[in-house]
Amino acid sequence: SDVCSSDLVTAEASSAQASTVTPLPPLDGILETSPAVLGEFSKDWGGFITASPKAVLRTSSVQDVVKIVNYARANCLKVAVNGQSGTADDQESHSFWGNASAPGGISIDAKGFNKIHSITSTHAVVGAGVSLHQLSAATLDRGLIVPSQTDYIRLSVGGVASVGGFG
pLDDT digits 0-9 by tens, 41-99? 887 777 777 889 999 999 899 999 999 999 999 999 999 888 765 555 655 556 666 67
The number of beta carbons lying within 10 Å of the beta carbon of residue 56 is 22
Residue 2 is predicted with a pLDDT of 46
pLDDT at 141: 95
d(CA 36, CA 3): 30
The whole-number pLDDT of residue 150 equals 77
Q: What is the pLDDT of residue 1?
A: 38
Contact, 38 vs 45, CB < 8 A? Answer: no
Please say whether the beta carbons of 84 and 92 come within 8 A.
yes
The per-residue pLDDT for 156 is 81
5 confidence band (pLDDT: 50, 70, 90)? low
- Position 98 scores a pLDDT of 66
Q: What is the pLDDT of residues 121-130, one digit of tens each?
A: 999 999 988 9
Phi and psi angles of residue 31, each rounded to the nearest 5 degrees, phi first? -105, 110
**pLDDT beyond 50 at 116:** yes
Q: Residue 18: which of 27, 9, 6 has the closest Cα?
A: 9
CA distance 58 to 75: 20
Closest CA to 128 of 48, 42, 44, 62: 62
Q: Would you call 61 helix, strand, or coil by DSSP?
A: coil
Do 72 and 79 meet the contact criterion of CB atoms below 8 Å apart?
Answer: yes
